[in-house]
Amino acid sequence: MATKLGLLCLTLLLQTTYCGVVSQIPLRSNGNISIELFNDLEELSRIVDIAYCVGLTGTGIQKPFLCASRCQDFDNFELVTTWNTGQLLSDSCGYIVLSHPPSEPRIILAFRGTYSVANTIVDLSTIPQEYAPYPGDDGVEESDRYEGLRKPPKTAKKAECLNCAVHLGFMKSWQYTKPLVLPYIKEMVQKYPEYKLVLVGHSLGGAVAALASLEFEARGWNPQVTTFGEPKIGNEGLVEYLDKVFARNGDEGITHRYRRVTHVDDPVPLLPLTEWGYQPHAGEIYISKLDLPPQVKDLRSCKGDADPDCIAGAENGRDNPTMPFNEQQAGIKGIQDWWKENKGALSVPPRWRIWQIFFAHRDYFWRLGLCVPWHDYKDWYSQYPEPP
């Protein structure tokens, strides 16, 4: 009943601004983001934006690292490979690149989001399925499980995944992507053991990056993960497992290893719905500014899995003012007077603002999702001081 009501509400929201709930949009920033972290996230947003050059509508990425988008920003990048599973196999696309000195030495996997808004909504509506963490019964030989091992997978062994469930569509997308990227990652971590393994994803690509990161951590590759507009990937059990896997020294905060960047008004981090069994995980960094570009003061590091001062606060609302009905003898004029008095208090909860997939969901430091030439980022970026 609740699901049917929610879907009906979604339909009505495309035609009206009233749906029985007022959203509480958190706009505070406590200024706890460093300039160094801000610069890192901004750079990663450009790196993941390049992933939109891969796929049916993209113009591609060529070696050494050439594309119609922001490739010219990264002189020290060397393209390893691109992948595209195709629309029939979850439409997973992205690329692997080496970042050589004098840039920070990194092996980077960039996961693209989806172009199809319709598919996005359908994919976000499925019930969580059972999740078995890697290594498991996946047909992988024991001798192959820790090939390229950088450190003993102690963290993953300590964390148990109890009653874990995952979004089936996201898991299938990773399963289709895995054979296309894993051989390259194995080779790169062995060839460049001093390079940091970095995963970055936008939108549904963020969900695939999350699942990939759990396997990479279990393999002992110690990845750092950054996602922009990542949807919820599973239930409370999976969330607790991910938090434990990426926590360090018992610290509940995981943002030094996993940064889940969200943006005010972006509905995707609030989906799939909590009512369907999905929960957000920790590591959130919240952008509170509505328009572009954000500044350091507009970002805050959030506490726990669902900080009410961050994107989760958009789900905590108060009731709308009650509209009088004819049965209450309000009459047409009474209803009109009520509307004039209360219309400013009525709004659409952010998780139902599906049209924001075109706007707020793409506004992470830049407008992401188009493989097109852009103006020199330094024109904007130079206004921020360099780290000391």
Residue 203: CB atoms within 10 A of its CB come to 28
Residue 275 has phi, psi (to 5 degrees) of: -60, -20
Query: Of these residues, 29, 263, 361, 363, which one is catalytic?
Result: 361
Specify whether 361 is catalytic.
yes
In sequence order, the 6+-apart residues with CB closer than 8 A to the CB of 184 are 80, 81, 96
Query: Of these residues, 49, 265, 266, 305, which one is catalytic?
Result: 266
Specify whether 309 is catalytic.
no
Q: How far apart are CA 93 and CA 56, in angstroms?
A: 10
Specify whether 375 is catalytic.
no
Closest by CA position to 51, among listed 70, 36, 77, 78:
70
Exposed/middle/buried for 346, CB within 10 Å: 0-12, 13-18, 19+?
middle
Continuous H helices in the chain: 2-13, 35-50, 117-123, 142-145, 154-158, 168-191, 204-218, 236-246, 331-342, 378-381
Q: How far apart are CA 114 and CA 116, in angstroms?
A: 6
- DSSP-derived pairing of the beta strands 196-202 and 106-111: parallel
Query: Of these residues, 69, 90, 173, 203, which one is catalytic?
Result: 203
- Give yes or no for a contact between 185 and 109, defined as CB atoms under 8 angstroms apart: yes
Q: How far apart are CA 52 and CA 58, in angstroms?
A: 6
Q: What are the residue numbers of the active site? A: 203, 266, 361
